């Protein structure tokens, strides 16, 4: 069942890449597994998904233990409380949700202790929704500049969760906006930011057309 769903997603991804003149390998399919138990994640792994993103530290730690026998590449994609950083930092390759200076500071401190450089994405609140995490567009440069000063933290790009809309086409301007913000940072600071984490079950094809390099797909795989 899960394999069938993943195959369908793969076909849609392939077609979206083709429409956009991009290669399928340019887009990483991340299984957003917050609603899946370890068993379901194992099944998705066996169907070819290698990267999973968890949203809550407590749930993640439990599943991490249960799936220790698999070489899963774990990302953290949810709002991250500063006091949870120490539990996850040795277990994740990429944190998608850096959105404030205090969190960057804590990641720096913990990464330094581990002798690790932690890869992160800065989450942008593109719809200025109070209920969501993410830095506002006008505060992005300041946070990015601060991150540049931290030796054990490396910003690889941007992430966003646009406001929910019935029609996935309505998410397109937000995806385009995130891409432009990334390009602006690249121009301003003369850096290369390889990643745009955007697109979920309902709108990942539009996100790929607008340049997503990581799509985070939950319900289309697991429900």
d(CA 216, CA 202): 10
Site string for ligand PLP, 49-68 (x = CB under 6 A): ------x-------------
Residue 32 near ligand PLP by CB under 6 A: yes
Stretch that binds ligand PLP, among 43-51, 105-113, 179-187, 197-205 (CB under 6 A): 197-205
* Rounded least distance, CB 54 to ligand PLP, Å: 9
Q: Which of residues 68-97 bind ligand PLP (CB under 6 A)?
A: 77-78
* Rounded least distance, CB 207 to ligand PLP, Å: 11
Judge whether 174 and 137 are in contact, CB under 8 Å: no
Judge whether 12 and 202 are in contact, CB under 8 Å: no
Residue given tokens 């392939």 in the structure block: 14
d(CA 187, CA 191): 7
60: number of Cβ within 10 Å: 25
Residue given tokens 């567009």 in the structure block: 137
* Rounded least distance, CB 32 to ligand PLP, Å: 3
Q: For ligand PLP, give the closer residue by CB, 103 or 150.
A: 103
d(CA 105, CA 189): 20
Strand partners, 98: 122
* Rounded least distance, CB 64 to ligand PLP, Å: 17
* DSSP state for residue 51 in the 8-state scheme: E
Chain centre distance of CA 32: 9
The residue from 34, 56, 116, 154 that contacts ligand PLP (CB under 6 A) is 34
The residue from 95, 124, 161, 212 that contacts ligand PLP (CB under 6 A) is 161
* Rounded least distance, CB 219 to ligand PLP, Å: 3
Q: For ligand PLP, give the closer residue by CB, 150 or 210.
A: 210
The residue from 157, 168, 211, 218 that contacts ligand PLP (CB under 6 A) is 218
Residue 120 near ligand PLP by CB under 6 A: no
Residue given tokens 């995490």 in the structure block: 133
């Amino acid at each position: 069942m899960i394999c069938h769903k993943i195959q369908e997603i793969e076909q849609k991804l392939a077609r979206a890449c083709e429409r956009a003149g991009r290669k399928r390998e340019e887009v990483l399919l991340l299984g957003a597994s917050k609603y899946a138990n370890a068993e379901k994640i194992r099944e998705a792994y066996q169907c070819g998904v290698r990267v999973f993103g968890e949203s809550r530290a407590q749930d993640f730690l439990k599943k991490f233990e249960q799936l220790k026998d698999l070489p899963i590449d774990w990302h953290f994609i949810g709002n991250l409380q500063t006091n949870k950083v120490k539990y996850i930092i040795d277990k994740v390759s990429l944190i998608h949700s850096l959105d404030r200076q205090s969190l960057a500071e804590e990641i720096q401190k913990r990464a330094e202790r581990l002798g690790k450089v932690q890869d992160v994405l800065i989450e942008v609140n593109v719809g200025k929704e109070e209920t969501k995490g993410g830095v506002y567009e006008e505060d992005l440069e300041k946070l990015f500049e601060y991150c540049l000063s931290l030796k054990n933290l490396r910003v690889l790009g941007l992430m966003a969760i646009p406001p929910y809309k019935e029609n996935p086409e309505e998410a397109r301007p937000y995806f385009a906006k995130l891409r432009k913000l990334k390009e602006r940072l690249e121009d301003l600071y003369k850096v290369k930011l390889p990643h745009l984490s955007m697109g979920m079950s309902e709108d990942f094809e539009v996100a790929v057309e607008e340049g997503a390099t990581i799509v985070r797909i939950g319900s289309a795989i697991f429900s």
